[in-house]
Structure 1
Amino acid sequence: MPKSPRKRALTSPHDALFQWTFSQREHAIGLLKAALPPEVVAAVRWSTLRIEKGSFVDRALRSRHSDMVLSARMGAARIYFYTIIEHQRDVEALMVFRMGLYMMRLWERITRERPGLKMLSPIMPVLIHHSDTGWTAARAFQDIVAIEGPERAALLPHIPHFELRLVDVSGGRAGDVVEEALTALGKVVLWCLSVSGDDARLEREIGRIAAALDEVLQAPNGLAALEALLRYLVATHERLSVQKIGGILEKAAGPRAQEAVVTALDEIERRGRAQGRAEGRAQGRAQTLLELLAARFGEVPAEVSARILAADEATLVTWTARVLTAPTPEDVLGDDGRRASPARRPAARKRARRT
């Protein structure tokens, strides 16, 4: 049974909901069956599906989109499904190029892990898109290469050829998918992604997923799923209160949902209070550690200070224990920080001894 969703640092609410839902095999299989060509769906051995570890999105772009890699047996080979979910509200003209970069990184990792390979595993690129206009950019890589006239035909054999499989959830309905293949939770999640930030549509169109939402609540992990959905809706509809959003879900799913919604809201509030207390303790420990560092070493480097203020409570406890023995502020952070270079460390130790 999947764990309740937790707030993850530097993770968007879109990514948190998507990863929590579709890292469960049942829902991942439903999504892929809904999005892929029928011939591929028929050829894949779905019982062999697995979630692969790792991300290939550039760190600077993780606020705009995130990825998930899955794989399964198809015939004698293993096929990889590289899935990106976009967090932005506009259409990125060169998204197919960016997808190509990430696919190359995945192939690079595969060949590094299996150096004896003679042939590459196939990769199917899947894009989950949401924007105000719907998808308007090129789906095929060869369509973004700027060459016209008779020269284009001569160059096409030498230009990479691949096309995105697009799941466009703009406008409230997932385009280019077989909705019947999705699980109930998969349908609800894609709909929630499609109305994110649009309070009026959330209230107006909630009835569209009423039956699927009722099915989600009846599942063994229904309460955890409801909490994930509530967390996402609260994060993406900031003008609506938590109670208002809970009421909208209750109205859609009927009286049977009332107890589940109340329980999920209570859990969200309890986690929020616990997180607030933990953040308060961490903030206090960070300030104490900065004061200790300043008393021993003088001015604390800005980079060290920033890492301390961003650290969790357990890490701060470890760092505080090193203050009396570490020769420099950087060494207090140990392997978790950016140590001074070997050339500089002896001089730092001499300064510490003279003080």
Structure 2
Amino acid sequence: MPGPHDTFVRHTFDHPENAAAELRAVLPEHVVSQVDWPSLRVESSSVVDSDLRETESDLLFSARLRGGHPLLLYVLLEHQSSVDRWMALRMLRYVVRLLERWRQHHLDSTTLPLIIPLVMYHGPDGAWTAPRRVEDLFEFPGLAREQWRALVPRFEYLLDDLTAKREEALKARPGPPMARLAWLVLRYGRSEELARRLPEWVALFAQVQAGPEGDRHLAVLIQYLLLMGDQAAHTAAGQVLNLVVGGQRTEELMRSYGEELIEKGRQEGLARGVTRGRAEDILRILTARGVHLDEQARQRILTCTDVATLDRWFDKSLNASTLVDVLDTLEH
């Protein structure tokens, strides 16, 4: 079940114009200048195989370069509350799996498409500190390190660390109002600063509301703020909404989403109970079969909220003799 960050980011950036704004802000200039941006589109979820879809937070885009060369842009939208040291390894696995899947459908091709991996991060614990290169995860002998580094995979992902960006810089990024407001909300959504900053974004809220699908975008924004913000942020969101759509509409939306969030909380509580029970069943089976489980593996299983993934792990655990039989790689 996707969380509130996943839902909000996917709603925002599966629109090509918003996705283009994010990609233009992060990709190297020589790439930006060569992409045929009107050709950018979101690939269907069927492009990414089931083993990669443990969350609903990743987006895959395709585009063409100006010379007609196909380009795949894989965007992993990272919403963990802490920095993931192993992100480079995870992203390498994603890219390899995407390339393998692409090869299955292009058997006559003698080359591979370009895939550019990008992580968007907005955790509350400060700037991103994990290695961005796979080679930085290896342990090398003290002497001749560069010679050893030449023997291991070389891979690097791009990073959009919103926590390192100032408000003025995010406001100044080119792009639709919804994209700029999303960056700001993601940047400050889990901080005490949110309530103070929201009134400064009234103009952006008004631009979102006045644009295409404005009412729908505004509703998603308010829902996210009610989910993530504290009481001060709720009050500030109501005041901003009142300035944009008027008192009566604000009261209707705030009451409607308040009731909806209560019901959603109840449903999510039930869902958590189901997934937690399934995860504990997997742990019991593996323990009974004598499979060693370190703490990292235990937490990965216990914190997984995707029912399909848990079902797959459960089926594999019935005949497992090692942990690798169940979890292909320990990504987190």
Same fold (TM over 0.5): yes
Q: Is the 1:206–1:248 contact (alpha carbons within 8 Å) kept by the matching residues of 2?
A: no
Tell me, in whole angstroms, the C-alpha distance in 2 between the residues paired with 1:46 and 1:216: 22
Candidates 247, 261, 264, aligned match of 2:253: 264
Which position in structure 2 is the counterpart of 1:122? 114
| Structure 1 residue 220 corresponds to structure 2 residue 205 | no
Which position in structure 1 is the counterpart of 2:132? 139
Tell me, in whole angstroms, the C-alpha distance in 2 between the residues paired with 1:174 and 1:115: 47
Q: 1:274: Cα distance to partner?
A: 8.9
Q: 1:59: Cα distance to partner?
A: 7.1
Q: Could you say if the C-alpha distance between residues 194 and 148 of structure 1 is closer, same or farther in structure 2, counting changes exceeding 3 Å?
A: farther
Letter in 1 for 2:59: M
Give the count of matched residue pairs: 270
Q: Is the 2:199–2:240 contact (alpha carbons within 8 Å) kept by the matching residues of 1?
A: no
Q: Could you say if the C-alpha distance between residues 180 and 275 of structure 1 is closer, same or farther in structure 2, counting changes exceeding 3 Å?
A: closer
- Equivalent runs, 1:241-256 vs 2, <5 Å: 244=235, 246-250=237-241, 254=243, 256=245
Letter in 2 for 1:87: H
Tell me, in whole angstroms, the C-alpha distance in 2 between the residues paired with 1:193 and 1:178: 13
- Equivalent runs, 1:197-236 vs 2, <5 Å: 197-198=190-191, 200-236=192-228
Q: 1:174: Cα distance to partner?
A: 7.5
Tell me, in whole angstroms, the C-alpha distance in 2 between the residues paired with 1:205 and 1:185: 16
Q: Is the 2:209–2:218 contact (alpha carbons within 8 Å) kept by the matching residues of 1?
A: yes
- SS of the aligned residue for 2:179 comes to helix
Q: Percent identity?
A: 26
- SS of the aligned residue for 1:181 comes to coil
Letter in 2 for 1:88: Q
Q: 1:37: Cα distance to partner?
A: 1.1
Letter in 1 for 2:5: H
Letter in 2 for 1:194: R
Tell me, in whole angstroms, the C-alpha distance in 2 between the residues paired with 1:24 and 1:222: 13
| Structure 1 residue 51 corresponds to structure 2 residue 42 | yes
Tell me, in whole angstroms, the C-alpha distance in 1 between the residues paired with 2:137 and 2:265: 48
Q: 1:243: Cα distance to partner?
A: 5.8
- Equivalent runs, 1:1-355 vs 2, <5 Å: 10-54=1-45, 55=48, 62=55, 66-74=57-65, 75-131=67-123, 132-170=125-163, 173=166, 179-198=172-191, 200-237=192-229, 239-240=230-231, 244=235, 246-250=237-241, 254=243, 256=245, 258=247, 261-265=250-254, 267-268=256-257
Q: Which has the higher contact order (CA 8 A, sep 6+)?
A: 2
- SS of the aligned residue for 1:158 comes to coil
Letter in 1 for 2:137: I
Q: 1:195: Cα distance to partner?
A: 2.1
Q: Is the 2:227–2:261 contact (alpha carbons within 8 Å) kept by the matching residues of 1?
A: no
Q: Could you say if the C-alpha distance between residues 179 and 161 of structure 1 is closer, same or farther in structure 2, counting changes exceeding 3 Å?
A: farther
Tell me, in whole angstroms, the C-alpha distance in 2 between the residues paired with 1:164 and 1:176: 22
Which position in structure 1 is the counterpart of 2:293? none
Tell me, in whole angstroms, the C-alpha distance in 1 between the residues paired with 2:163 and 2:264: 33
Q: 1:171: Cα distance to partner?
A: 5.8
Q: 1:246: Cα distance to partner?
A: 3.6
Letter in 2 for 1:111: R
Q: Could you say if the C-alpha distance between residues 256 and 166 of structure 1 is closer, same or farther in structure 2, counting changes exceeding 3 Å?
A: same
TM superposition score normalised by structure 2: 0.70
Which position in structure 2 is the counterpart of 1:326? none
Q: 1:56: Cα distance to partner?
A: 5.7
Q: Is the 1:35–1:178 contact (alpha carbons within 8 Å) kept by the matching residues of 2?
A: no
TM superposition score normalised by structure 1: 0.65
Tell me, in whole angstroms, the C-alpha distance in 2 between the residues paired with 1:33 and 1:21: 15
Q: 1:216: Cα distance to partner?
A: 0.8
- Answer with 50-59 or 80-89: which moved more: 50-59
Letter in 1 for 2:213: N
Q: Could you say if the C-alpha distance between residues 270 and 240 of structure 1 is closer, same or farther in structure 2, counting changes exceeding 3 Å?
A: closer
- Cα RMSD of the aligned pairs, angstroms, is 3.5
Tell me, in whole angstroms, the C-alpha distance in 2 between the residues paired with 1:166 and 1:204: 28
Tell me, in whole angstroms, the C-alpha distance in 2 between the residues paired with 1:249 and 1:171: 26
Q: Could you say if the C-alpha distance between residues 162 and 174 of structure 1 is closer, same or farther in structure 2, counting changes exceeding 3 Å?
A: farther
In structure 1, the gaps of 5 or more residues are: 1-9, 284-301, 307-336, 339-355
Q: Deviation per CA, 1:164-194: give whole Å up to 9, x if none.
A: 2111112664899894223211111122112
Letter in 2 for 1:161: R
Q: Is the 2:52–2:94 contact (alpha carbons within 8 Å) kept by the matching residues of 1?
A: no
Tell me, in whole angstroms, the C-alpha distance in 2 between the residues paired with 1:232 and 1:258: 20
Which position in structure 2 is the counterpart of 1:314? none
In structure 2, the gaps of 5 or more residues are: 271-276, 282-310, 313-332
Which position in structure 2 is the counterpart of 1:328? none
Letter in 2 for 1:236: M
Tell me, in whole angstroms, the C-alpha distance in 2 between the residues paired with 1:27 and 1:66: 16
